[in-house]
Amino acid sequence: MAEHFTLIELFTQKYKEARKVSAIEDDLAKDLQVLTTQDVIQKRNNSLPYGLESVALEQLDEEAEKRFNACFPKYRKRIQWSLSGKGIAGIRSKFYTAMALSPSAKRALLVEDKKWSVYELDEESNEPPQLICTGKVTGEYSTGRDPITMRKAPLNWPQESDQTDVVPLATSPTSHSDTATKSNEAIASATEYSIAALADNIAVLASPNGVLTVHNIQREGRPVYRYVAPSAIRALAVSPNGSCVACGYTVYDSVSDIEEPIISLHRITPDVLNSRSYYNTFAEPTIAALPIADPINTLTFSNDGAFLACSTIMQSRFMVINVSNADEPRVIMTSVRKIDNSNESEGITSMRFFPGNRLLAITCRAYDAIPIIVDVMGSFVGSGATEDSGTIANSTLVTQFPEVGSSVYSAAVSPRGNAIAFATNSGQVYVVSYSRLGLVDNSYTVVQVGKTVNANKITEAPAMRWSPKGYTLLVLDRRGGLNLYNFAAGMPGSNGTEECRVIQRA
């Protein structure tokens, strides 16, 4: 297990660590041509403090590593594709309702009001993304654009059981009765989509009237799971491996006379994915009542799917829930951001875990609420308490990025753990990079890598994702434009490699 450090310990040891890491980096640069890939990875990872380690990058391309180290973050090659089939990106006049990119960065999802499409892409290829499956809100699905090839789904789609057990979270003092059961009439009334999420094997879509649908994109987009919530689904997330879907909505509690926020966790098992029937007889969701009276705004899973972060709309609260056992979700950390009651404020707009799950990046669109990184286990360190003890932690601020501004909609954390990308409401795309100790001493570089379509509200924000090796940043906008910013495509000054605008130097 990696060694734990408090932030104070990290700060007091930063000079020793900086010298140590610098020496190791010099050794790596000298030995890069003679060490094997696994030697390089092991040497790098063994040198890093807990919470700031890079991921073990499999099949690391040493030549690409050289180009990346020479370019990142100041030089990149930009490739642009249009997934709308309307020519170059930006020509399409109608906006998409929702966008998503898969954890592997190999698949992209675009959602219109009544239709969805999944594309397959390769960051290392010059070939345009290819449509692999598509479907309609009526349940039809296909592998092509031709309506004639659409397979028709039967009307007997899954219905909910009459009773669903509610599992209150550790901080919830009361129980709750689920009223999520609805008839096929509710399913039939789902005439459009509002939000979506994507894993490498499933596409998850939700309609404004609370109908959740899961499609197996490895089987032509076949619908395999449906759930009907008692109200509109406000937030949606899927674990990276596609085994768990989380959705947030509210239920009216007549006893307390409030709208109680609910998170339902849906286990998408192999039996569900491979079912020959549209009836879901394999799993029922776990319904978790949150200990607050504030609607859910965002949901996001950690990279390993063990933790779920959620935020609320009115009070800008955020919390981390342990969902490693989906039958017994448990709050382990809760905190709050600055509250802004102005009409333009949308509170917390995105949250992203770092590798290792210790750090969490948070963005907002609110007055003076700049992007921050918090240590979600900060109050545990030195207290003797642990996440398993049932104690609720408070977050500890690690650093913040005022250069990016306070109207940020999207964020993406590099799998290397050394960079974050941000997209603002005006469409500016920034990358913040830092050394391994840069988060402690606020030594980081900010560059503007490009521009995307502007967003007027959180649902219009672009989808962002880093490739698994951290070489390429992918940005998918609401016009169907896909931009790839590759930091390992060539050396500085080579054909197609352009210099980014530097906002802040480390």
The C-alpha atoms of residue 259 and residue 217 are separated, in whole angstroms, by 35
Helices 37-45 & 62-71, crossing angle to 10 degrees?
A: 50
Same domain, 34 and 121: no
Enter the tokens of residue 25: 């980096």
| Domain count of the fold of the chain | 2
With beta carbons less than 8 A apart as the criterion, state whether 84 and 479 touch: yes
Does 440 fall in a domain? no
Same domain, 135 and 22: no
Same domain, 52 and 175: no
Does 460 fall in a domain? no
Same domain, 156 and 57: no
The C-alpha atoms of residue 419 and residue 446 are separated, in whole angstroms, by 10
Which of 304, 406, 407 shows the shortest CA–CA distance to 354? 304
Q: What is the DSSP letter of 437?
A: T
Q: Is the dihedral of CA 401, 397, 413, 471 positive or negative?
A: positive
Give pLDDT, residue 395: 86
Please name the amino acid found at residue 416: R
Computed over its alpha carbons, how large is the radius of gyration of the chain?
A: 23
Same domain, 273 and 171: yes
Which of 114, 154, 109 shows the shortest CA–CA distance to 137? 114
Tell me how far apart the 2 most distant CA atoms of the chain are, in Å: 70
Same domain, 163 and 258: yes
Q: Which residues, in sequence order, are CB contacts of 338 under 8 Å at separation 6+?
A: 316, 364, 366, 367, 368, 369
Tell me the pTM. Answer: 0.81
Neighbours of 76 (CB within 10 A): 27
Does 308 fall in a domain? yes
Same domain, 45 and 120: no
Does 448 fall in a domain? no
Per-residue pLDDT of the chain (506 residues; tens, 9 = 90+): 444 444 334 434 443 444 444 443 444 333 333 333 344 344 444 434 334 444 444 556 789 999 999 999 999 999 999 997 655 554 556 799 999 999 999 999 999 989 999 999 987 778 899 999 999 988 889 987 665 466 765 444 444 333 333 344 433 333 333 333 444 555 556 678 999 999 999 999 999 889 999 999 999 999 989 888 999 999 999 999 999 999 999 998 888 788 899 999 999 988 888 776 554 444 578 998 888 888 999 999 999 999 999 999 988 999 999 999 878 899 999 898 877 677 778 889 999 999 999 999 999 988 888 999 999 976 444 444 455 545 566 888 999 999 999 899 999 999 999 999 999 999 999 999 987 655 666 789 999 999 999 999 999 999 999 999 999 999 999 999 999 999 999 999 999 999 999 998 87
Give pLDDT, residue 197: 98
The shares of helix, strand and coil residues in the chain, as percent rounded to the nearest 5, are: 15, 35, 50
Give pLDDT, residue 276: 63
The C-alpha atoms of residue 359 and residue 1 are separated, in whole angstroms, by 17
State yes or no: cis peptide before 73, omega within 30 of 0: yes
Find the CATH number of the domain harbouring 279: 2.40.128.630
Does 158 fall in a domain? yes
Query: DSSP H helical segments within 189-247, as ranges?
Result: none
Same domain, 309 and 234: yes
The C-alpha atoms of residue 337 and residue 317 are separated, in whole angstroms, by 6
Same domain, 38 and 171: no
The C-alpha atoms of residue 145 and residue 225 are separated, in whole angstroms, by 23
Same domain, 268 and 212: yes
Range of the domain at 199: 106-336
Q: Which residues, in sequence order, are CB contacts of 105 under 8 Å at separation 6+?
A: 121, 123, 465, 466, 467, 468, 472, 474
Residue carrying structure tokens 């030697």: 39
Residue carrying structure tokens 């509200």: 457
Give pLDDT, residue 154: 47
- CA 268: distance to chain centroid? 18
Same domain, 298 and 183: yes
With beta carbons less than 8 A apart as the criterion, state whether 390 and 450 touch: no
Does 445 fall in a domain? no
Q: What are φ and ψ of residue 478, in 5° steps?
A: -80, 0
With beta carbons less than 8 A apart as the criterion, state whether 321 and 169 touch: yes
Give pLDDT, residue 94: 77
Same domain, 188 and 322: yes
Domain boundary among 336, 358, 375: 336
Cα separation of the two ends of the chain: 31
Judged by DSSP in three states, 259 sits in strand
Give pLDDT, residue 20: 44
Does 81 fall in a domain? no
Does 144 fall in a domain? yes
